[in-house]
A = this chain, B = another copy of it.
C-alpha cells in the first residue's frame, strides 16, 4: 500500500480505548467514585474550548464532534463515536483547559472522570499510561491524515473520504442513517454548504451513492476509494 492511500480525512482514529482494561479492581472503584454520569440531548455542548477541564470525558453512547472555533469558521478535528475519550490532551501538565470544543450530534451519554484521578492513575499504572500514549499517537495520526486531506484534496475527494469514513469506520454498514443537516455535513467535509450539495448531486448522478432523506447508501465502494485516493 502506498503512503498516499494511508492518508485520508477520516474523522475517527483507529484508536480503541483500551486503557480501562488495564485497571486494577481498586483503580476501577476509584474511577467510579470520582466520575459523574451525564446525559446530553442532541446539539448540546459537552465542553468549551478554553474553559477549565475538571474531567476527561468518556463517551458511552451517542455521537459527538470535537472542533476548533474561529471568528467565522470552525474546523472539525474529529468525530467521537461511543467508547472514546474527549479531552485527553487536557491532561497536559500546567494547562488544565479544554483545547477544543465538543458538541453532540445526537442524544448521548458520558462519564466525566475527575482529571486528577485520571492523572494519578497514569502515574501509578504503567500499562494504563502506555495505553494513553497509544491513544495519543493514534489521535495524532488521524489528525495528520485529516490535515493533509483537507489542505490538499479537492471537494470531490474530501466528500469521498467522509462517506467512506462514515460507512466503514463509524456505522460499519453500506447503508446508514446520518442525522446531520447539509450544513453540518459540509462543515465536516470542510466545504461550504452549497458546494457539499453540488458534490452530493454529482455522486448521485454518477451512481456512487443513493440518498433518501438522511439515509445514505454507498453503491460503488471501489470508485469511492479511487476518488478518495486521487484527490
Interface segment, A26-34, A102-110, A140-148, A207-215?
A140-148
**Is A49 an interface residue when CB atoms closer than 8 A count as contact?**
yes
Given A143-B140, A143-B144, A70-B126 contact (CB < 8 Å): no
- Copies of this chain in the oligomer: 2
Q: Report Cα–Cα, A33/B147, bound state, in Å.
A: 38
For residues 140 through 194 of chain A, which have their beta carbon under 8 Å from a beta carbon of chain B? 140-141, 143-144, 146-148, 150-152, 190
- Which size class do A's interface residues fall under? 35 or more
A227 at the interface (CB under 8 A from B): no
Lowest 4 A-B CB distances belong to which pairs? A92-B137, A136-B136, A129-B129, A89-B137
Chain B proximity of A66: nearest CB distance (Å): 10
Q: Tell whether A115 is near chain B: CB-to-CB under 8 Å.
A: no
Q: Are A75 and B152 in contact (CB under 8 A)?
A: yes
With the chains together, A148 CA to B151 CA distance in Å? Answer: 10
Q: At the interface, yes or no: A138 with Cβ under 8 Å from chain B?
A: yes
Interface string of A91-106 (1 = CB under 8 A from B): 1110000011000000
Q: Which of A106-138 contact B (CB under 8 A)?
A: 122-124, 126-127, 129-130, 132-134, 136-138
In the assembly, what is the distance between CA of A139 and CA of B143, in Å? 11
A6 within 8 A of B: yes
A134 to chain B: closest residue by CB? B93
